[in-house]
Structure 1
Amino acid sequence: MRGERARRVLFIGLSARGHGGIQRFNRRVIASLATLGVPTVTAMRAEDAPMRFARRVLSGVLGAEPILIGHINLLPLALLIRLLRPRARIILFAHGIESWGDPAYRPVRWWEPAMLRHVVHRVAIVSRYSMSRMAGAFALDEGTFVLFPNAVDLPDAPVRAEGETILTVARLQAGEREKHVDKLVRALPLLPTARLMVIGDGPLRAEYRTLAVQLGVEARVALPGAVSDIALARAYAEARLFALPSSKEGFGIVYLEAWARGLPVVGSCFGAAGEVISDGVDGFTIDPADVGALAHALGRLLNDRRLADRMGAAGRLKVERHYTGAAFTRNLEALLYSDMPLTGMT
């Protein structure tokens, strides 16, 4: 259907409710389809009763073009759709670690590489890093992929705080050690006037509190757990910079959220963070194993307000140009009508 307008889109996902990155991505897809005026049938596996989900998929698949699959766990449905609609164009959204074939998180099922090659028309993926990881894990040609970056809402630019608070926002589950939040705690003894705010919950929260006590910096580390949207907005407004030296980001939407609020960022030189952040322009990228280098990058932004403001402004400009809801909608339109170019990551 190159260049033709979609008759109707079927979008199948896991969920569009909640605060997770995939849920927010799904809501943005649904909102963008509405903005484009495309008739859409949505089916969310975690939200619809099993029979209702099946009915919505089966009723939506007839006459839909293209068909959007929101998660790799839904690949078996793509095979069923291919059997029902042999000529239908099927597009899979891939987000990050769930598509890397990481045995500690989600190993490759033996049947998935062949299904991706023969059932799915395109894989829309958030970053070149994730594309490389997925192509290697599933033995896919990179021509299968199209880059489809994430997006954030753009609030009014806030007035920056005068303090020296470093903010990080992350899941603190046991499998999230590669986000290296502990390195931020370990950097504090080298930054005697800095404070660290860690927003997020999970088993690692208690571990980081214990580490702060061991290092004698517990009075400068706040670990409030999960917070409301209002409290999160306040934390961004009170921070001088955002830091997450994660080496496992499939895209790094948290950096966009910080830039949208005018904050400079510090991230890892590994993973997609090193792809999204322009080192020395809108933030710094470092090797998270080097706590001294991390402390140096944090200290430069804490001690040089003009540098921090300049980098925060550059990051916000990057979001305005490439990562707003309007950009997401344009990219979705280009994905639906494949003769249009996508825009996005620089």
Structure 2
Amino acid sequence: MRDCAFAIPGDHRQKTGGFIYERRLLEELAKTGRQVRHIVLPAEAAAVDQSRTIRQQVDQILQARPADEPLILDGLVFGAMPTEALAQLSCPVVAMLHHPMGLEHGLSPTQSRRLLAQETANLAKAAHIVVTSDHTRQTYIQLGADPERITTALPGYDGSRDLPRLDTGPRILSVGLLAQRKGHDVLIRALGQLKDLDWTAQIVGKTHDPSVAAELASLIDGLGLVGRISLAGELSDAALSDAYRSARIFALATRYEGYGMALAEALCHGLPIVTCATGAVPDTVGDAALLAPVDDAEAFATQLRTLLTSREARHDLGLRSRQLGRTLPRWADTASVMGGVLDALQSRP
């Protein structure tokens, strides 16, 4: 069983999909008896445009790693690192990738091209690549990754499954960062077309971009939905579990997901889902969701109306959701896949 280091930028206890994945992977790898060194990098190491000072700090920390100890490297840091700096590391690097940085929403065309070119060049410098979905695996293969050096380790979920519902009426739940990519603006516009129906909605997620948060609050007010849609911010694990249990429908109008951990959690809670046909989403939700095109509030509203007005449709989709949720891995399974990757590196010359 091979020891390793895991380099993560900033506070790994943040409640976003990527940080939850890395924190739980770090914890589960350690539970197996493997020595896992947590390397805390500056939070700015994940920035699209790093300062020279931050680049020097990151280089100094990572170049100090022993040559015989694999380094699991956070995907944002991996994508942001200059290729020449990555090439100077003597230790084998396992890149932990969620989706290409250059495909993130909100980037300028110049930034997108630069980041995609850099990450494509960086792929050749990784001893192995671990991704969170088969869709993301194919995305990186198209960017030039060697199919023999890329492995999928689906996110886990350790919470209880098939818990009894909490009856709070027709509540719609959405979970995701207040960021452009999550499409909460589309959800709000869709709900604005459903004022004739009985529902309340809760959007759970920390503020990633203050301008997006302000835009969402303004949109809720402008559409006359204050009191019907709440921006709940970040919740504790217990409160989030209660939010899933008290929801009747899960809705995420996302513009792109490399996997969709909130969608998977909705499956584990047996919720019927409305979301968008983008990225890995169709693979993640299977036949347990109604899908709408990206950025189409009218189509999203139509799918929501179906579930809000048809008990049969909700029951059928909820049954499929529960069945799929039972098949999803736990975090120990995710760590087992990563452990296999680390141990296979040991046998290489």
TM-score interval (norm. to shorter)? 0.7 to 0.9
Indicate which of 101, 108, 114 corresponds to 2:121.
114
CA distance in 1, matches of 2:151, 2:33: 23
1:12 alignment partner, SS class: strand
Q: Secondary structure at the match of 2:68?
A: coil
CA–CA distance in structure 2, aligned partners of residues 94 and 10 of structure 1: 16
Aligned to 1:203: 211
Aligned residue in 1 for 2:269: 261
Q: Secondary structure at the match of 1:243?
A: strand
Residue 124 in 1 paired to residue 124 in 2?
no
* TM-score, normalised by the number of residues in structure 1: 0.78
User: Structure 1 73/55 Cα, relative in aligned 2: closer, same or farther at 3 Å?
Assistant: closer
Query: 2:158 — aligned with what?
Result: 153
Q: Whole-Å Cα distance in 2 between the matches of residues 217 and 101 of structure 1?
A: 29
The CA deviation string for residues 7-64 of structure 1, in whole angstroms up to 9 with x for no partner, is x2222222423222222222122112123222222212138xx999888756652432
- Where does structure 1 lack aligned partners over 5 or more consecutive residues? 340-346
Aligned partner letter, 1:31: E
Identity score, percent:
22
CA distance in 2, matches of 1:206, 1:159: 35
CA separation in 1, counterparts of 2:163 and 2:311?
15
Is residue 187 of structure 1 aligned with residue 187 of structure 2?
no
1:333 maps to amino acid: G
Measured in 2, the distance between the counterparts of 1:243 and 1:101 equals 21
Partner residue in 2 for 1:44: 40
> Paired residue for 1:19, among 15, 21, 30?
15
Is 1:171 paired with 2:166?
no
Distance in structure 2 (CA, Å) of the matches to 1:168 and 1:142: 35
Q: Give the 3-state SS of the residue equivalent to 2:291 in structure 1.
A: strand
Q: Secondary structure at the match of 1:23?
A: helix
Provide the aligned length of Structure 1 versus Structure 2.
323
What is the deviation of 1:249?
A: 1.4
The 3-state SS of whatever aligns with 2:129 is: strand
SS in 1 for 2:157: coil
Q: Post-superposition shift, 1:298?
A: 1.7
Alpha carbons 1:44, 1:53 under 8 Å: kept: no
**Corresponding residue for 1:239?**
247
Confirm or deny: 8 A CA contact 1:17 1:23 kept in the other structure. Answer: yes
CA RMSD of the aligned region, Å?
3.4
Following superposition of structure 1 onto structure 2, how do residues 171-320 of structure 1 map, counting pairs within 5 Å? 171-173=177-179, 176=180, 178-188=181-191, 189-190=193-194, 192-200=197-205, 201=207, 202-278=210-286, 281-320=287-326
138-147 or 190-199, larger mean C-alpha shift: 138-147
2:241 and 2:273 mapped to 1: Cα distance?
16
**Preserved contact between residue 156 and residue 331 of structure 2 (Cα < 8 Å):** yes
CA shift at 1:241, angstroms?
1.2
Residues of 2 paired with 1:318 and 1:35: CA distance?
27
Structure 2 residue identity aligned to 1:179: K
Are 1:69 and 1:78, in contact at CA under 8 Å, matched by a contact in 2? no
Other-structure match for 1:29? 25
Letter in 1 for 2:157: V
